[in-house]
Structure 1
Amino acid sequence: MMMFIFEYAPIAMFLLLLLLLFLGVPIAFSLAFVGVFFALIMWGIDSTSLLTSAVWGVMNNFTLLAIPLFILMSVLLEKTNIIADLFDSVYKWSGGLRGGLAIAAIVVGAIIGAISGVVAAGVIGLGLIALPQMMKYKYNENLSLGSIMAGGTLGQIIPPSLNMVVYGAITGVSVSSLFAAGLGAGFLLIFLFIIYILIRAYHREDMAPALAKEDRATFKEKVESLRSIALPLLLIIIVLGSIFTGIATPTEGAAVGVFGTILIGFGTKRLDWKKTKEAIHESTKMTGMVGWILIGAAAFSAVFSGVGGNQFVSEMAQLAPGGKWGVLFFSLAFIILLGMFLETMALIMLAAPIISPIIVNAGFDPLWWAVVFMVVLQMAFLTPPFGFAIFYLKSAVGAKVGIDKIYRATIPFITIQLIATIILILFPILAVWLPNLLNK
C-alpha cells in the first residue's frame, strides 16, 4: 500500500493542490499544506527537518532581498501619481493615431515595469487611469481591456522584474544577465502588441478612433508633458545602468531605486512622511504575502522532489517524440498548464527546479531558456481561470465590467505571447544579444 502511495504521490500532490485552489484556499497555504501533509504521510515526524531545511534555504537567499526593495519602490511611485503623469504624456503624443490610447497603455505599462517590476501596479494603475479615457472615446471594450492587461504585465519581462530575481535565485542564472536579456524579449512583445493594435484600429475605424482634432494636444503641450517623464526615465537609467555595468548587484540596484524614488517624490513635493509611512506599511504586507508564497512553494517542492516528482516529470519529458525539441515543447506545455492555476512566483518555485535542468541537459542555453520561461510566465498572468492580471483589473474596474468580458479580452494577447515565444525559439539571438554584448 505504501509503495502504491509513493509511486503516485507526485500526481496526487498536484491533484490535491488544484482541489484546494478551487475551494478558495490561498495559494501559499495550499502549497504548504500539501507539502506538510504528504511529508507526514510518507516519512512521519522525521520529515520536519526536510521541510525546515527547504524553507530556510529559500529565506536565507541574499538575492531575494531585492524583492521587498522593488515592492517598496513600486508603492512609493504609486503614492506620487507618476503613473497618471506617464499616461498623460504618452497619450498626448499618440492621441492622433487610431488606437493611440491603447498604444499609450502598452508603452506606459512597459515604463512602469522598468521602474518597479511589479505587475499589480501596472495593471491596476492603468485600469484606473487609462480605461476611463478609452471608454470616453468609445474604444472597443475588448481591445481596451486586453491592452491594459498586456501593458500592465510587461513588468514581468521588462527588468527589473521580481520574478526574474526569484528565477535567478532558484536556478543560479545571473540575474543581471537575465535583466539584460529581458529587454530584448520585452521590446519584441511591445512591438507585437502595438502592431496588433494598429492592425485592428485601421481595419475598423470604430474599433479605436483617433482623438478629435480639438482634443489633441498642441506641440507645445506635448513638449511640456515630457517633463513629467524625465525623472522616472532617469531613475530607470540609473537603476538598470548600475546593474548592467556591474557597479551594483540587483539587490543594491533596488536600494538605489528606492532612494531615487524618495528623492523624486520629496523633490517634486508629491511625497511626504505620511505617504512614506503608508508605503512602508503596504509594502511590508505585500512582502509578507510573497514570503509566505515562497515558504509554501519551498515546502511543496522539497516533498515533491523527495517522492520522485522531479524524476517523474523528467521521464515524461524524455518520452516526448522529437528529441530535444520534444523535450522543449513538453516543458512549455507543462509551464502553460501550471500557469492556468498557480501564482507566478509559486510557479517559478515549482517548475524552475524541475524543468530548467531538463532543458539544459537537452542542450539548450540556460539564459535563453530563462527568457522563454519568463515570456511564458507573463502569459500565465492572462491565462484563465486564475490569471492574476484578470483579477487585478477586476479589482480596479469593480462592477463596471463583468469578469467574462475580461476573460474574453485576454485571448488575442495570449495568442500574441505564443507567437512571441515561437519567434524566440526560431531566433534565439533576439533573447541573448544584449547580455552577450555587455559581457564582451
Structure 2
Amino acid sequence: MEWFEALALLLGAIVALMAVGMPVAIAFLAANILGAWVFMGGERGVVQLLNNGLGALTTYALVPIPLFLLMGEVFFHTGLGGRMFNAIDRLLGRLPGRLSYVTVLGGTGFSTLSGSSMGSTALLGSLMVPEMTARGYKKKMSIGPILGTGGLAIIIPPSALAVLLATLAQIDVGALLIAGVIPGLILAGLYVAMIWVQTKLDPAAAPPYDVTPITLGAKLLLILRDVVPMVGVMVVCIGLMIFGIVTPSEAAAFGALGVIALAAVFRCLTVEALYKSVKGALKVTLMAYMIVFGSATFSQLLAFSGASRGLIAWATGFDLDPIWMLLAMFGVLLILGMFMEQISIMLLTVPIFFPLADSLGFDLIWFALIMLLALEISFTTPPFGLLLFVMKGVSPPGTTMRDIYLAAIPFIFCSLVLVALLIAFPPLATWLPGR
C-alpha cells in the first residue's frame, strides 16, 4: 500500500467515526485498531500496539496535567479568582474602560493559575459581562477582552494544553512552559493597547462612571492581601522552573498545594469546593490520558505504514522556503480550528507536523509555541471557535453570535501580530528556556 493510501485510510476512518458522533478519543482508538490489523499483522499487531499505547501513559511528563488542572479548579471554585478581580477593579479607579482593563489584567492572572481557556472564559463571562453591560459598555469592550484573555491560558504557564502538546510531540515540557512567558506577557500588553485604542476612537464604548475613591493605605492592603498571594503562586512556580530548581511536575505540585493553602488561609476551602475541584480536574485528566493513548498509537501507525516518511518527502519535495511551509502549517491549523476543537487538531497534526518541522530545521520548542498560538487563535475563530460558544452561553440575553464574532476580531489581530513577532524574532520564545 502506498503512503498516501495508508494516510487516507487512517485519517478517513477517524473523520468518518467523528462524523457519526463518536467521541474523539474513542474514534482514534477504533481507527488505530483498524490500522494495526491492516499494517501490523492482525491480532498480534493490535495487542502490540495497545501495549505500546499503555507504555506512553506511564511517562513522568504527564504528571503536571492533573496538578495544574487541580490548581485552576481550586482557584475557581473557592472564590480566590473573584477576590483578585475585585481588588484590581478597585485599584484602577476612574480609568476610562477600566473594566476592560480589569478583564485583561485579572484574566491574565486567572488564566495563568487555571491553565483552562474554557474555565477562564466562563468565569470572566459570568463575572464581568453583566457588570459591563449594566455600565453601558458596548459588546466589543466587554466580550472581546474576555475572549482574548481566555486564550492566554494556552500560552502562559502553567498550561495543561502546553504540557499535553509537549508530551505528544516528545519535546521538553519545562522548556515549552517557560518559552510561553515572554510571548504571553507581550500578548497581554497588545490586548491592553487594543483597549486603549478602542476607547480613544470610541469613548462612548466604555462610558465613565463614579467610583468611591480609596486611600493609598487601602490600595496597598488590597495589593498585599488579594493580588500578591495569588500572583505570587504563579511567579514562584515559573521562577523555580526557570532557575532549574524544580521539574515541571514538582512546580505543578507546589502550585496546587499553594492555591489550596491560600484557600485555607482565606477560609474559603470548603468540602464542596474541594469536591468540585477534584471532580473537574479528574474528568479533564482522564480525557487527556485517553488522548495521549490515542495519539501515541496513531504516531506509531503513521511511522509503521510509511505514511509519515512519505508525507515528509512529498512536502519537502516542493523546494519551498521553510517560512512558507510554516505559514502553510499555520493556515491548516486555523482552518481546522474553525470546525474542530483543539485537542482533536493536536491529535491529527502533531504526528505529521513535528517531524516535518524537524526536517525543515525549526527549533521544536519555538515551533510548538507557534502551534499553541495557532490553537489559541482558533479558539476564537468564526464560525465554530470553541470559546465563541462558551461566551454565548454566559452572555446576557440578546447577545448574538454576530456580536461575539465582531468583538473577537481585534483580539485575533493582536495574536497574529505576536505570531509575526515570533517569526521575525525567534529569541522571544527561545531566550528564556536557554535554547
TM-score if structure 2 supplies the norm length?
A: 0.90
RMSD of equivalent CA atoms: 2.5
367-376 vs 341-350, which moves further: 341-350
Q: In structure 1, what residue type is equivalent to 2:363?
A: D
**Deviation of the 1:294 alpha carbon:** 2.5
**What is the correspondence of 1:358-369 to structure 2 with a 5 Å cutoff?**
358-369=356-367
Matched residues in 1 for 2:299 and 2:112: separation?
A: 30
Amino acid at match of 2:55: G
The residue that corresponds to 2:237 in the other structure is: 239
Indicate the percent of aligned positions where both proteins have the same amino acid.
Answer: 27
Q: SS where residue 72 of structure 2 aligns?
A: helix
Q: SS state of the match for residue 435, structure 1?
A: coil
Give the conservation status (yes or no) of the 8 Å contact 2:53–2:293: yes
Q: 1:315 to 1:109 in 2, by over 3 A?
A: farther
> Are the structure 2 counterparts of residues 18 and 200 from structure 1 closer, same or farther at C-alpha, using a change threshold of 3 Å?
farther
Distance in 2, matches of 1:297 and 1:13, equals 12
Q: For 2:304 and 2:243, locate their aligned partners in 1 and report how far apart those are by CA, in whole Å.
A: 40
Q: Aligned partners of 2:48 and 2:330: how far apart in 1?
A: 29
Which range is displaced more, 119-128 or 397-406? 397-406
Deviations 1:288-335 (A, max 9, x none): 222223333334333344433323432343144532222222222233
* 1:26 aligned residue (23, 27, 48): 23
Aligned ranges for residues 260-271 of structure 1 at < 5 Å?
Answer: 260-271=258-269
Question: Which amino acid is 1:427 matched to?
Answer: F
* Structure 1 contact 99–197 (Cα < 8 Å) conserved: yes
How far off its partner does 1:50 sit? 4.5
Query: What residue ranges of structure 2 are gaps of 5+ in the alignment?
Result: none
Confirm whether residue 36 of structure 1 aligns to residue 40 of structure 2: no
Deviation of 1:174 after TM superposition, in Å, equals 2.3
Change (3 A) 1:422 1:171: same
Return the offset for 1:38: 3.9
Partners of 2:33 and 2:97 lie apart in 1 by 51
* Structure 2 counterpart of 1:218: 214
Instruction: Map 1:76-115 onto structure 2 (within 5 A).
Output: 76-115=74-113
Secondary structure of the residue aligned to 2:206 is coil
SS of alignment partner, residue 151 of structure 1? helix
- Counterparts of 2:319 and 2:414 in 1: how far apart (Å)? 26
Question: Is the 8 Å Cα contact of residues 392 and 401 (structure 2) preserved in structure 1?
Answer: yes
Q: Once the 2 structures are TM-superposed, how far is the Cα of residue 429 of structure 1 from its aligned partner?
A: 1.9
Measured in 1, the distance between the counterparts of 2:142 and 2:318 equals 39
Structure 2 distance, partners of 1:409, 1:48, is 48
Distance 1:87 1:312, change over 3 A: farther
Residue 381 of structure 2 is aligned with which of 380, 383, 388?
A: 383
Deviation at 1:22, TM superposition (A): 4.7
Does 229-238 or 337-346 show the bigger shift?
337-346
Provide the residue aligned with 1:401 in structure 2.
Answer: 399
Instruction: Go from structure 1 to structure 2 and tell me whether the alpha carbon gap of 1:196 and 1:15 turns closer, same or farther (over 3 Å shift).
Output: farther
Question: Which of 277, 292, 295 is equivalent to 2:293?
Answer: 295
Aligned to 1:64: 62
Structure 2: distance between partners of 1:196 and 1:393: 20
Cα shift at 1:48: 1.0
For residues 73-222 of structure 1, the aligned pairs below 5 Å read 73-209=71-207, 211-212=208-209, 214-215=210-211, 217-220=213-216, 221-222=218-219
User: How far off its partner does 1:365 sit?
Assistant: 2.2
Q: Between 376-385 and 37-46, report the one with greater CA deviation.
A: 37-46
Contact 1:301/1:349 (CA < 8 Å) preserved in 2?
A: no
Matched residues in 2 for 1:365 and 1:101: separation? 39
SS at match of 1:8: helix
Q: CA deviation at 1:121?
A: 2.1
CA positional deviation for 1:148: 0.5
Name the residue aligned to 2:7.
10
CA deviation string 1:34-93 (max 9, x = no partner): 333444455533331343134213211111011111111111111221221222222233
Q: 1:218 to 1:300 in 2, by over 3 A?
A: same
Deviation at 1:417, TM superposition (A): 1.5
Are the equivalent residues in 2 in contact too, given 1:166–1:348 (CA < 8 A)?
A: no
The 1:314–1:111 alpha-carbon spacing in structure 2 relative to 1, beyond 3 Å, is same
Opposite residue 77 of structure 2, the aligned amino acid is K
| Maintained 8 Å contact 1:27/1:342 | no
Aligned match for 1:315, one of 303, 313, 316:
313
For residues 21 and 102 of structure 2, the distance between their equivalents in structure 1, rounded to whole angstroms, comes to 35
AA matched with 1:11: A
Secondary structure of 2:313 counterpart: helix
Letter in 1 for 2:245: I
What amino acid is aligned across from residue 34 of structure 1 in structure 2?
A
Structure 1 position 252, deviation (Å): 1.0
Is the CA contact (8 Å cut-off) linking 1:131 and 1:145 kept in structure 2? yes
For 1:23 and 1:140, the matched residues in 2 are separated by: 40
Aligned-residue offset at 1:265: 0.9
2:256 corresponds to: 258
Question: What one-letter code is carried by the residue in structure 2 that aligns with 1:363?
Answer: G
Structure 2 counterpart of 1:75, which letter? E
